[in-house]
């Protein structure tokens, strides 16, 4: 007599339910009905649910309920739909010739530090500020943001912490979190880990776009301090600090005031306010967000052909964390400058005759301190676009 576990489903078309041996194994792949070789699938004793496959819809719904509350707290006047709509709707600002500016980004392997520390409430803020800076350099005012959170197994508490950081970043930058996607994909991610990305859309009047085309020889480069690594260079930093030096996220390194994990998780700074101050005063000719590639690769992105940047490396003090990284790995100067921001997260280009006024406006209206890094110079044949002196 056959039990349920000893029935197998034949792959023939149409499929047949074929009895096999009482051990529950196929009879050497031979269909006892059609009398020919065939593939068989065991019919399970119990039904299989989506949760059995690793996707917990109830946990996802709990996360979504929390996310809705957080997102509503960021809504601005332009939001037309609730979280949960198939598409998010946003009313265009009343501009004469509006130009939309968009960007998408992630936070790289800074996530690995968040996993090691168990702290997930700031990584979302990193993401928003990075994206905000990328569109602000072109004169855009942020309108709305959408996030993408991908996990192997969803933990509603962790998801809430991540989105809380995103919501905080959106509120700070007056940008509405109008939608997103939380994807649970069993087997794709290491347990306890996730990936995070975001898309931002902003707007600016066409004749107020900041492109760098108006930059001239003699213009002054104003540097704005970073808060740390921001969201770049973490693959090298983790290798140097954790693998080579043997530190942990709880290590107290002499030059640092915080445990190493906290120092590495310092939030990527938003420069929106500083940019807006100079933009409204019509002093901003160009702005470069110093991310992956450092000053060496990012500043040339806004310089007109034939111009270069002369940087005075004595103009600012490189923060201790960057010096520690260079010392541990004996990192060559060029690689060091192309991997990390070295304490400068944004460079604003202003006319030489207006440089002092620009510095005063930043201090008076935004409490933003800047440093004169150098100037725009004529590029000589065969010369690099960024000259360090």
Fold that domain 57-208 belongs to in CATH = 60s Ribosomal Protein L30; Chain: A; (3.30.1330)
Q: Using CA atoms, how far apart are residues 226 and 268, in angstroms rounded to an integer?
A: 8
Instruction: Map out the domains of the chain as residue ranges.
Output: 4-42, 57-208, 220-388
The CATH number assigned to the domain with range 220-388 reads: 3.90.650.10
Pairing of strands 307-311, 370-378: antiparallel
Taking alpha carbons only, the member of 266, 259, 252 closest to residue 341 is 266
What integer pLDDT is reported at residue 121 of this predicted model?
95
Taking alpha carbons only, the member of 162, 183, 141 closest to residue 70 is 162
* pLDDT tens sequence across 174-228: 999 999 999 999 999 998 999 999 999 999 999 999 999 999 999 999 999 999 9
* pLDDT tens sequence across 267-300: 999 999 999 999 999 999 999 999 999 999 999 9
Residue 218: CB atoms within 10 A of its CB come to 12
Residue 281: CB atoms within 10 A of its CB come to 15
Q: Using CA atoms, how far apart are residues 92 and 358, in angstroms rounded to an integer?
A: 31
Average predicted confidence (pLDDT) for the chain: 89
What integer pLDDT is reported at residue 331 of this predicted model?
87
What integer pLDDT is reported at residue 40 of this predicted model?
54
3-state helix, strand, coil in the chain (%, to 5): 35, 25, 45
* pLDDT tens sequence across 224-264: 999 999 999 999 999 999 999 999 999 999 899 899 999 99
User: The whole model's pTM is what?
Assistant: 0.86
Tell me the Ramachandran region of residue 345: left when phi exceeds 0, alpha when psi lies from -120 to 50, beta otherwise. alpha
């Amino acid at each position: 007599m056959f039990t349920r576990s000893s029935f197998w489903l034949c792959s023939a078309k149409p499929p047949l339910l074929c009895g096999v041996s009482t051990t529950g194994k196929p009879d050497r792949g031979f269909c006892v009905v059609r009398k020919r070789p065939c593939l068989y699938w065991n019919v399970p004793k119990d039904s299989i649910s989506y949760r059995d496959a690793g996707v917990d819809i109830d946990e996802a719904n709990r996360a979504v309920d929390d996310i809705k509350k957080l997102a509503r707290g960021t809504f601005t006047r332009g939001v037309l739909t609730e979280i949960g709509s198939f598409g998010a709707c946003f009313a265009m600002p009343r501009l004469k010739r509006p130009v939309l500016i968009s960007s998408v980004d992630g936070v790289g392997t800074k996530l690995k530090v968040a996993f090691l520390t168990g702290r997930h409430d700031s990584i979302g803020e990193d993401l928003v500020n990075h994206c905000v800076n990328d569109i602000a350099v072109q004169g855009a005012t942020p309108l709305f943001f959408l996030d993408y959170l991908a996990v192997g197994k969803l933990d509603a508490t962790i998801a809430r912490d991540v989105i809380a950081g995103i919501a905080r970043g959106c509120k700070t930058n007056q940008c509405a979190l109008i939608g997103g996607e939380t994807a649970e994909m069993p087997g794709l991610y290491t347990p306890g880990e996730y990936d995070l990305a975001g898309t931002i859309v902003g707007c600016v009047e066409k004749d107020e776009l900041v492109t760098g085309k108006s930059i001239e020889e003699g213009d002054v480069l104003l540097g704005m301090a970073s808060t740390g690594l921001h969201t770049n260079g973490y693959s090298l930093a983790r290798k140097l600090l954790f693998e080579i030096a043997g530190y942990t996220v709880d290590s107290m390194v002499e030059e640092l005031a915080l445990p190493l994990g906290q120092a590495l998780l310092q939030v990527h700074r938003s420069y929106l306010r500083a940019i807006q101050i100079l933009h409204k005063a019509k002093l901003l000719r160009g702005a470069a967000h110093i991310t992956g590639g450092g000053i060496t690769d990012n500043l040339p992105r806004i310089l007109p052909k034939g111009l270069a940047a002369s940087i005075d490396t004595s103009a600012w003090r490189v923060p201790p964390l960057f010096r520690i990284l260079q010392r541990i790995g004996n990192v060559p100067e060029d690689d060091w400058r192309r991997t990390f921001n070295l304490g400068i997260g944004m460079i604003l280009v202003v006319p030489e005759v207006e440089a002092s006024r620009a510095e005063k406006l930043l201090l008076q209206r935004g409490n933003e301190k800047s440093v004169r890094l150098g100037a725009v110079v004529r590029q000589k044949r065969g010369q690099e676009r960024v000259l360090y002196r």
